[in-house]
C-alpha cells in the first residue's frame, strides 16, 4: 500500500525537479524589459524651442534662427534640430508650438506671404500643412493654445481666433472669437502677447501696449460677444512693464513675464486667479533680478516637476533659464548658476518653448 | 559589493532528486512509521527547494531559476487523527538566475517571500492556499548597459500541496509543491517551486 503511494510521489518529485532544472526558454532581461516599459509609459521629455519672431517687451531682439530644436530636459544640451524653416520657404518664422499627438507637433508659422499651421513630425522626418485660413490668420501671429477638445486659440496680435478640431474657424458673430473687448478690457487690440485658459475654460490673455493698456484680461470661455463677456482686467505692476507671456501654473497661479526697456521693469509676477469669481489679484514679484531675466519672450512649465522655463529674448541674452516655483512663497528660484540653455544659434529670439515628449 | 553567482548544473539537480527519493523511502521504513496521524501542536521547519519564476510584462517575459531555502512555523488543528486544519507562516528566500541563453547579460533575482498559509490535511496529504508579501531585487550586469538594479514588490497568492512523512513522533519530512501568482508592480508574477522541509513537532 505504502509503496503504491510512494512511487507516484517520488516520481512526481523527480519530474518536478527535473522540470525546474530543464526549463529553458527565451527569457528576456527583466531590467531591460522594465526600462522599456517605463520608457513606453513615460516617454522622455524634451524642451522644444521655436526660434522665430519674438516679442520681448520692447527690448532689442536678435533675428531668429527660424528653427524648432529639442533640448535635453535634464542637461539643457541640444538633442536635435527638429526642423529648419530656412529650407522650406523664405520668411517662414515658427512662432508657437503645441503637441498634436505622440508623433507630431503643431507649429504656427508667421509669414505675411503665407501664414499657416504645420504638422511636423517630432523626429523632423516629415512636414505637412495642417491649416491655412487667410481670414483667421490675417495678422502677425503671437501664440497658440491647444484646448482639451483639440481646438486651438490663436493670438494674431489684434484678436484671438478659435479653430475647431475640425479645422474650421469659430467666430463670435462675424468676428474673431475674442475681438476688441470693451469696458475694462479695452483697449486690448494691438498686441495680445500671451494666452491661456483657466480650469473652467475662461480665457486669460496679456496685452502689451503703453499704459494703461499693458494689462491682463479675463473673458468668457465662449469668447467675447458683448460687454458682460469682459470679466476683469488687471494693470501691470508698473507702467513701464509690458507683459510678454503668461502661463497657468499647475498650482493654479498665473505667472506673467514682463519685459521693458526700463531695466528694472523686467521681471516675473505671480497672480491668484479665481475662475469662479473672476478675480485676478495678489500680484507679487516672483523673480525680479534683471541680470537673469531680461526681455522674457516665452515661458512654459515642466508638468512633471512644476519647474518654469523662461526664454530671454533680449539680444544680449538669447538664453533659457530654469526656475523652481514655490506656490506658498510665490517665489521663483533659479536652478543652477548658469542659464539652462546658453546663448546659441537655436536660442536666438525664442518665440515659444514647450515641454513635450520625444 | 560583488556577489558570487550560483549556477546549478543539471547533474546537481538530478542528484538532489535522487536524494529526495532515497530519503522518502527511508522515512517510510517500518522503524520510523511509529505514529498514525497528527496531534494538536505547533511545529517548526526548515528546508530547501527549487524555484522557477516568470515575470511577464506587456510584451516580453523573464524567467528565473534557482534555490529557495525557507523556514516555516505552524499549528496543527486536527479534528480527528487523520484530518484537520493547519495554519503556518514563514519566509522563503530566493536566489535565482535568469534562464536566458543569451551571453550578453547575467541577471540575478534575490529577495524574500513572507507568507501565511491555511490548509487542510487528510492523512499524509495536505493542501491549501495563502498570501505572500514578495520583495525582490533584480541585478544585472550587461555587456551593453553595464550594471543596473531594479526592485520589485507586491502581494501575491499561493496554492500548495504537500505530502508528509512521519519520521518520528517529534519529526516530520514534508515535500511540497507550490504555485504562486499575482501582480508585482504591473508585471505578472508566476512561481512554481518544490521544497523538502524537515519539521520539528511539539505537542500541546
Task: Give pLDDT tens digits for A295-351.
Answer: 999 999 999 999 999 999 999 999 999 999 999 999 999 999 999 999 999 999 999
Q: CA B169 → CA A113, B27, B82, distances in Å?
A: 98, 12, 15
Contact B25 A10 (CB under 8 A): yes
* A interface test, pick of B12, B18, B49, B60 with most A CB neighbours within 10 Å: B60
Predicted TM-score (pTM) of the model is 0.67
How far apart are the C-alpha atoms of A315 and A257, rounded to whole Å?
A: 17
Asked if the Cβ–Cβ distance from B105 to A28 is below 8 Å, we say: no
Torsion of CA A66, A68, A73, A78, to 10 degrees: -70
pLDDT of residue B30: 42
Q: What is the layout of strands, in order, in the sheet containing A350-357? A: A78-84, A67-72, A45-51, A350-357
pLDDT tens digit sequence for A189-224: 999 999 999 999 999 999 999 999 999 999 999 999
Cβ pairs A/B, distance under 8 A: 115
Measured between CB atoms, which of A14, A31, A35 is closest to B21? A14
Q: In this model, does residue A101 exceed pLDDT 70?
A: yes
Q: Taking Cα atoms as reference points, which of B91, B84, B85, B88 lies closest to residue B74? A: B88
Residue pair A312/A293 in contact by the 8 Å Cβ criterion: yes
Confidence of residue B10 (pLDDT cuts 50, 70, 90): low
Higher local confidence (pLDDT), B14 or B2: B14
CB contact under 8 A, A6 and B25: yes
How close does chain A come to B115, measured CA to CA in Å? 22
Q: Do A27 and B175 touch (CB under 8 A)?
A: no
pLDDT score at A98: 97
List chain A residues with CB under 8 Å of B109: 30
Report pLDDT digits (tens) over B79-102: 988 899 999 999 999 999 999 877
Q: How far apart are CA A308 and CA A325, in angstroms?
A: 7
Cβ separation of B20 and A13 shorter than 8 Å? yes
Complex-level ipTM: 0.74
Q: Per-residue pLDDT for A22 more than 80?
A: no
pLDDT of B20 over the 80 cut = no
pLDDT of A11 > 80? The answer is no
Q: What pLDDT was estimated at residue A43?
A: 84
**A25-54: pLDDT as tens digits:** 578 888 888 888 887 877 889 999 999 999
pLDDT tens digits along A250-260: 999 999 999 99
- DSSP structure class, residue A185: G
Cell 533680478 sits on residue: A289
- How far apart CA B49 and CA B16 sit, in angstroms, is 10
Contacts of B31 (CB under 8 A, 6+ apart): none
Give the per-residue pLDDT at A21. Answer: 55
Q: What are phi and psi of A45, to 5 degrees?
A: -100, 145
Chain A residues closer than 8 Å to B8 by CB? 21
Rounded CA-CA distance A219/A278 in Å is 9
Angle ∠(B176,A10,B7) on CA atoms, nearest 5:
65
* Residue, of B118 and B144, whose pLDDT is higher: B118
What are the tens digits of pLDDT across the range A258-277? 999 999 999 999 999 999 99
DSSP-assigned letters across all residues of A125-148: S-EEEEE--TTTT-S---EEEE-T
The residue of A8, A9, A21 whose CB has the most chain B CBs within 10 angstroms, and thus the best one to mutate to test that interface, is: A21
Nearest to B60 among A14, A18, A28 (CB): A28
What average pLDDT does chain A have?
93
Amino acid at each position: 500500500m505504502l509503496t503504491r503511494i510512494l512511487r507516484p510521489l517520488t516520481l512526481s518529485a523527480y519530474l518536478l525537479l527535473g522540470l525546474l532544472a530543464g526549463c529553458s526558454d527565451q527569457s528576456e532581461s527583466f531590467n531591460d524589459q522594465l526600462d522599456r516599459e517605463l520608457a513606453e509609459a513615460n516617454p522622455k521629455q524634451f524642451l522644444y524651442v521655436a526660434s522665430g519672431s519674438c516679442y520681448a517687451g520692447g527690448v532689442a531682439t536678435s533675428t531668429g534662427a527660424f528653427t524648432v530644436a529639442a533640448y535635453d530636459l535634464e542637461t539643457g544640451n541640444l538633442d536635435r534640430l527638429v526642423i529648419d524653416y530656412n529650407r522650406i520657404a523664405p520668411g517662414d518664422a515658427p512662432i508657437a508650438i503645441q503637441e498634436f499627438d505622440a508623433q507630431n507637433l503643431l507649429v504656427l508659422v508667421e509669414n505675411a506671404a503665407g501664414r499657416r499651421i504645420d504638422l511636423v513630425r517630432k523626429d523632423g522626418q516629415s512636414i505637412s500643412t495642417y491649416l491655412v485660413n487667410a481670414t483667421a490668420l490675417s495678422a502677425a501671429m503671437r501664440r497658440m493654445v491647444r484646448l482639451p477638445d483639440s481646438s486651438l486659440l490663436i493670438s494674431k496680435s489684434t484678436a484671438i481666433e478659435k479653430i475647431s478640431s475640425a479645422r474650421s474657424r469659430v467666430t463670435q458673430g462675424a468676428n474673431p472669437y475674442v475681438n476688441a473687448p470693451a469696458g475694462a478690457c479695452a483697449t486690448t487690440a494691438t498686441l495680445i502677447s500671451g494666452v491661456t485658459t483657466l480650469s473652467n475654460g475662461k480665457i486669460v490673455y496679456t496685452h502689451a501696449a503703453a499704459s494703461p493698456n499693458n494689462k491682463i484680461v479675463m473673458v468668457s470661455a465662449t469668447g467675447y460677444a458683448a460687454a458682460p463677456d469682459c470679466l476683469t482686467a488687471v494693470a501691470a505692476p508698473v507702467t513701464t512693464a509690458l507683459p510678454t507671456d503668461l502661463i497657468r501654473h499647475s498650482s493654479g497661479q498665473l505667472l506673467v513675464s514682463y519685459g521693458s526697456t526700463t531695466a528694472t521693469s523686467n521681471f516675473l509676477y505671480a497672480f491668484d486667479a479665481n475662475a469662479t469669481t473672476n478675480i485676478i489679484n495678489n500680484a507679487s514679484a516672483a523673480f525680479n533680478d534683471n541680470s537673469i531675466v531680461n526681455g522674457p519672450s516665452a515661458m512654459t512649465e515642466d508638468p512633471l516637476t512644476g519647474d518654469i522655463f523662461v526664454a530671454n529674448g533680449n539680444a544680449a541674452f538669447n538664453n533659457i533659464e530654469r526656475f523652481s516655483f514655490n506656490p506658498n512663497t510665490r517665489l521663483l528660484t533659479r536652478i543652477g548658476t548658469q542659464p539652462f540653455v546658453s546663448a546659441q544659434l537655436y536660442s536666438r529670439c525664442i518665440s515659444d518653448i514647450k515641454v513635450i515628449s520625444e | 559589493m560583488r556577489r558570487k553567482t550560483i549556477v546549478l548544473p543539471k547533474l546537481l539537480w538530478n542528484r538532489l532528486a535522487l536524494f529526495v527519493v532515497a530519503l522518502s523511502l527511508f522515512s517510510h521504513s517500518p522503524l520510523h512509521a511509529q505514529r498514525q496521524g497528527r496531534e494538536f501542536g505547533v511545529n517548526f521547519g526548515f528546508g530547501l527547494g527549487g524555484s522557477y519564476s516568470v515575470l511577464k510584462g506587456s510584451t516580453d517575459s523573464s524567467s528565473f531559476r534557482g534555490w529557495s531555502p525557507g523556514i516555516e512555523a505552524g499549528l496543527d488543528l486536527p479534528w480527528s487523527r487523520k484530518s484537520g486544519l493547519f495554519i503556518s507562516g514563514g519566509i522563503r528566500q530566493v536566489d535565482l538566475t535568469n534562464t536566458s541563453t543569451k551571453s550578453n547579460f547575467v541577471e540575478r533575482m534575490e529577495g524574500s517571500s513572507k507568507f501565511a498559509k491555511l490548509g487542510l490535511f487528510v492523512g499524509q496529504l495536505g493542501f491549501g492556499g495563502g498570501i505572500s508579501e514578495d520583495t525582490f531585487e533584480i541585478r544585472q550586469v550587461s555587456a551593453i548597459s553595464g550594471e543596473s538594479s531594479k526592485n520589485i514588490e507586491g502581494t501575491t497568492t499561493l496554492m500548495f500541496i504537500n505530502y508528509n512523512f512521519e519520521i518520528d513522533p517529534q519529526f516530520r519530512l514534508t515535500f511540497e509543491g507550490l504555485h504562486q501568482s499575482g501582480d508585482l508592480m504591473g508585471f505578472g508574477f508566476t512561481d512554481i517551486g518544490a521544497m523538502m522541509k524537515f519539521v520539528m513537532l511539539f505537542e500541546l
